[in-house]
């Protein structure tokens, strides 16, 4: 299998002074294959979010490379990087993921608008995604009329609707109760198995990490353990 995304000796340091410098991510090299359902786990401050930001091109590494399907995104910037993220990477964040003045449908549709997908195709894909995430009939509701779990489902739909190569989720269940958190992970897993889309998510919740097929353990910015399950 070929790696969808890989890093080589990637580092992200904050601060210039050697004594006070924080090594959020330190010489991390990983390869993630297509269709994987990977969890980056570790305690708070271990560098999970920073690594996800580097994988998604949201932050530039201090050194090292991040390649998505052979393209080094560490060298990109501005509109090129925005376009690349739009077309190749889907994101799910902890909370407040959605544009509050848009309905669920419009939130899902927005990324396709950026991609220039025509209106009829947008409508078709939105309806399809709402069905897949089990929110048919709730498409016209704004985020404040949806529960936290429903909002995260919409965020998953928005991340998937543009057919990215990889979906990065930064503690997607952090603001959900355990029941809803597990249900969300089960949905992500189901979509991963159906669509063979690659999911990488961070968590420190043991119940959630048990759903992952691969666990990358981080501690103080370094990979402590990389285990397939």
Q: Residue 18 or 44: which CB sits closer to another protein?
A: 44
Residue 127 Cβ vs another protein, minimum distance, rounded to whole Å: 17
> How would you class 229 by CB atoms within 10 Å of its CB: exposed for 0-12, middle for 13-18, buried for 19 or more?
exposed
Write down the residue that tokens 């220039």 correspond to.
Answer: 116
Task: Supply the minimum distance, in Å, between the C-beta of residue 213 and another protein.
Answer: 25
Q: Return the DSSP state at 88.
A: H
Q: Where are the beta strands (DSSP E) in 97-221?
A: 166-170, 198-203, 214-219
Question: To the nearest whole angstrom, how small is the minimum distance from the Cβ of residue 111 to another protein?
Answer: 6
End-to-end CA gap in the chain:
17
Q: How many other C-beta atoms can be found within 10 angstroms of the C-beta atom of residue 226?
A: 13
Which candidate, 90, 91, 61, places its Cα nearest to that of 76?
Answer: 61
CB of 83 to another protein, least distance (A): 7
Closer residue to another protein (CB): 2 or 44: 44
Residues within the interface to another protein (CB under 8 A)? 50, 53, 56, 58-59, 78-79, 82-83, 85-87, 90-91, 93, 95-97, 99-102, 106, 109-111, 113-115, 158-159, 162, 170
Q: How far is the CB of 143 from another protein (least distance, A)?
A: 11
Packing angle of the helix pair 119-132, 148-161 (nearest 10 deg): 130
Specify the DSSP element, H or E, that contains 40: strand 37-41
Nearer to another protein, 30 or 89 (CB): 89
Q: Which is nearer to another protein, 58 or 138 (CB)?
A: 58
Q: Based on CB atoms, which residue is closest to another protein, 20 or 144?
A: 144
Q: Is 86 exposed, middle or buried (0-12, 13-18, 19+ CB in 10 A)?
A: middle
Give the shortest CB-60-to-another protein separation in angstroms.
9
CB atoms within 10 A of CB 217: 18
Closer residue to another protein, CB minimum distance, 95 or 195 = 95
């Amino acid at each position: 299998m070929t790696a969808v995304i890989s890093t080589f000796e990637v580092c992200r340091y904050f601060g210039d002074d050697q004594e006070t410098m924080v090594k959020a991510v330190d010489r991390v090299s990983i390869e993630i294959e297509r269709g994987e359902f990977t969890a980056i786990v570790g305690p708070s401050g271990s560098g999970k979010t920073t690594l996800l930001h580097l994988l998604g091109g949201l932050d530039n590494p201090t050194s090292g490379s991040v390649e998505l399907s052979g393209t080094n995104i560490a060298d990109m910037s501005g509109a090129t990087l925005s376009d690349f993220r739009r077309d190749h990477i889907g994101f799910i964040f902890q909370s407040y993921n959605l544009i509050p003045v848009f309905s669920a449908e419009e939130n899902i549709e927005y990324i396709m608008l950026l991609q220039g997908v025509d209106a009829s195709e947008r409508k078709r894909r939105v309806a399809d995604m709402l069905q897949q995430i089990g929110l048919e009939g709730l498409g016209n509701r704004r985020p404040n009329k949806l529960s936290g779990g429903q909002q995260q489902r919409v965020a998953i739909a928005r991340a998937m609707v543009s057919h990215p190569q990889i979906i990065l989720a930064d503690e997607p269940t952090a603001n959900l109760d355990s029941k809803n958190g597990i249900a969300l992970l089960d949905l992500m897993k189901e979509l991963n198995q159906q669509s063979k889309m690659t999911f990488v998510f961070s968590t420190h919740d043991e119940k959630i990490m048990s759903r992952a097929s691969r666990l990358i353990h981080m501690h103080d910015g370094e990979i402590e353990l990389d285990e397939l399950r």
